[in-house]
Amino acid sequence: MTSSKNSKKKQSENKNWKNSVWYFLVGLMILSIVTTYFNEPVGPSQVNFSDFIQELTQGNIQEVTIRPSESIIIGKTGSGTSFKTYYVNYPELMNELRDQGVSIKVNPADSGWVWGVFLQAFLPFLLIMLLWFFIFRQAQGMNNQAMSFGKSRATPWDKENKEKVTFKDVAGVDEAVEELAEIVDFLKKPARYKEIGAKIPKGVLLMGPPGTGKTLLAKAIAGEADVPFFSLSGSDFVEMFVGVGASRVRDLFGQAKKKQPCLIFVDEIDAVGRHRGAGLGGGHDEREQTLNQLLVEMDGFDPTQTIIIIAATNRPDILDPALLRPGRFDRQVTVDKPDLNGRVNILKIHSKKKKFYKDVDLEIIARGTPGFTGADLANLMNEATLLAARNNQKSVSMKELQEALERVVAGPQRKSRVISDHEKEVIAYHEVGHALVAAFAKKTDPVHKISILPRGRALGYTLQLPVEDKFLMTRDEILSSLEVLMGGRAAEELIFNEITSGASNDIERATQMARSFVCTYGMSKSLGTRKYGGSQEQVFLGKSYGSDNKDYSDGTATLIDNEIKELIDMAYDSSMKILTKNRKKLEEIAKILLEKETIDRDEFLTLLEQKKASVRKKIKKVVKDVVPKANDSEPPIGLSPASSPA
């Protein structure tokens, strides 16, 4: 780090020195030109020889200097005025000078005015030559820059970086750390692997959603490996000029061969490694030429060389198959979203340099953030710290963590939005409808919080507490989720005998879930166990331009539509039955929600304690297992399937 700062400082000083030289030369040239053309010439004035003889006869001359080589006579009067005249063959001149008592000098050393005349005459030409020299050097430097246009822009890792990242700073991706630690160990101790004939992978591809820590893993490798490390982005190869990308690839691997063993990290490799011949540009596309050169360089490694390339992407589906084959990227490591334990460890890492109260329990926050990536959790902790600082607190409490989680999940509170009393009442019944159906449905997560405070794009929201991370959903869980989604619209119709547009987001999500139930999961009894439709995403145009391949008949399409409608209607009828049966509780809880604007888990549990014991037992069990006797400032645990009116 220090060496890089010193080099930058030295470059800045050199640049300032060059600028100073430029300014000095230009100023000197301007001064010389002004002196030459606007000032009087330096030296004695020119007079005729007859005038010189007349002055001599009158006794006005005190001293003369005769220069035979230049054929001039320089005279000086008693008043100190100097003049010069051309020397002619006048025999009596010496006698007259002697008679008048004039001091005579013959051919002395050159006087200063001669040098003045010389500099005045030739200095502009000298300055022009110097300026031309500097301009030529500058043009040569620009030419060198043009020649270096095809050089690699890889950034070497600075070993003196005091803030380097190691594997201790990475959590939630233990399998990926294990794979990469093996590569670092090979670079440090290659003899141990070569003795038994093992070949280390030439390339490792890190795949996973955005924010899961792929670039962080690369930084950890740079911090762990005591070898040269080159880092660059896939877009650094691609330019508008044809052939530049391929030239940079050659230069990159040329540098790597000189400093082996070494590591090369290419972030977002999908910028240059997209599938060839599948879109715009044709076979002579600049990106394809760059990819071809990259393939050649990766496959052309000498077996004795120890150069490992690590690449990261969140779009492995669009990469060229030739890039993924063994011999190039031998090992493909999936960096997925962390599980519960991973989220706890990530929160601990991001809380190291932050101050917290003793009652803060990060495990509660981790349980409330299923599906969060490492970047999401880092943002959550930072938001909590900012909220604590805004409230002039010295430490972060559970209250700030709760507010930060709600901000990340649903957005910041919109206190300035003015909602009429009638609309607020509709929103209250809508959210309580979600909550009651979630409490009485077969398989749903218990309700954790209900609110009618506008937040983000939502006018209100219902939060549910997941018992554990779920990677699979059963048939009953999907059907129960559909019932919860329909609970808000059913409550509106039951109480007001009319419906609003507030359930648009619920309907959209319910339709998508029902379609997946039928077409993707194969859970429909009438349509059987098969997948309907296939994706035709364009590699170059992106996902938004993809279309579904209709691989079924029009009659089957009608059956699918009828099945989706039947599933949603069944869910709506079930939620309507639950709410009709518990209408008094619906009205009671809605009135309390209108007064308090927010109902937490404990209060909602109290309002339901007169109902059947199974509901009470389900909620209390989750509270006992997941949330240890916490105060009222417990965090929200993620949006329920029934999010608010949008």
User: What pLDDT digit, counting tens, does each position of 214-245 carry?
Assistant: 888 988 888 888 778 888 888 777 765 556 77
Question: What 3-state DSSP class applies to 231?
Answer: strand
Distance of CA 413 to the CA centre of its chain: 27
Instruction: Write down the pLDDT at residue 124.
Output: 64
**Other beta carbons less than 10 A from residue 160's beta carbon:** 9
Query: Which of 310, 372, 320 shows the shortest CA–CA distance to 347?
Result: 372
Confidence class of residue 568 from pLDDT cuts 50, 70 and 90?
very high
Distance CA 640, CA 465 (A): 8
Instruction: Write down the pLDDT at residue 615.
Output: 46
Tens of pLDDT along 36-60?
555 544 556 777 777 777 777 777 7
Distance CA 297, CA 376 (A): 37
Mean pLDDT over residues 573-597, rounded?
Answer: 92
pLDDT of 633 strictly over 90: no
Whether 348 and 362 have beta carbons less than 8 Å apart is answered as yes
Which pTM value belongs to this model?
0.65
Instruction: Write down the pLDDT at residue 546.
Output: 47
Confidence class of residue 625 from pLDDT cuts 50, 70 and 90?
very low
Confidence class of residue 7 from pLDDT cuts 50, 70 and 90?
low
577 vs 155, residue with greater confidence: 577
| Active-site residue set | 431
Span of 3-7, 313-317, 573-577 with lowest mean pLDDT: 3-7
Instruction: Write down the pLDDT at residue 434.
Output: 93
If you write DSSP's letter for every residue of 47-75 in order, what string do you get? --HHHHHHHHHTT-EEEEEEETTTTEEEE
Question: What 3-state DSSP class applies to 130?
Answer: helix
Confidence class of residue 410 from pLDDT cuts 50, 70 and 90?
confident
pLDDT of 632 strictly over 70: no
Confidence class of residue 347 from pLDDT cuts 50, 70 and 90?
very high
- Bridge-based pairing state of the strands 307-313 and 262-267: parallel
Tens of pLDDT along 305-324?
778 889 999 888 888 888 88
Confidence class of residue 10 from pLDDT cuts 50, 70 and 90?
low
Average pLDDT, the chain: 76
585 vs 161, residue with greater confidence: 585
Domains and CATH numbers, the chain: 2-39+116-150 (no CATH), 45-108 (3.30.720.210), 155-334 (3.40.50.300), 351-410 (1.10.8.60), 421-643 (1.20.58.760)
Tens of pLDDT along 612-622?
444 445 444 44
